[in-house]
Amino acid sequence: MGKLAGKKLLILGERDGVPGLAIEACLKDSGAEVIFSVSECFV
């Protein structure tokens, strides 16, 4: 548990950067609640 515990998260990922799913995986044990997660593509 870190400083994100109890927070609500909006995750915006990018395919050739870091995808939303990967960010979600990193934050799995942070104690935060992911309320929206998406990957986008700008190319």
Of 8, 22, 31, 36, the one binding other proteins by CB under 8 A: 22
Exposure class string for 5-42: b at 16+ Cβ within 10 A, else e: eeeeeebebeeeeebbeebeeebeebebeeeebebeee
**21 scored as a contact of other proteins (CB under 8 A):** yes
**17 scored as a contact of other proteins (CB under 8 A):** yes
Q: How far is the CB of 20 from other proteins (least distance, A)?
A: 7
**43 scored as a contact of other proteins (CB under 8 A):** yes
Q: How far is the CB of 36 from other proteins (least distance, A)?
A: 12
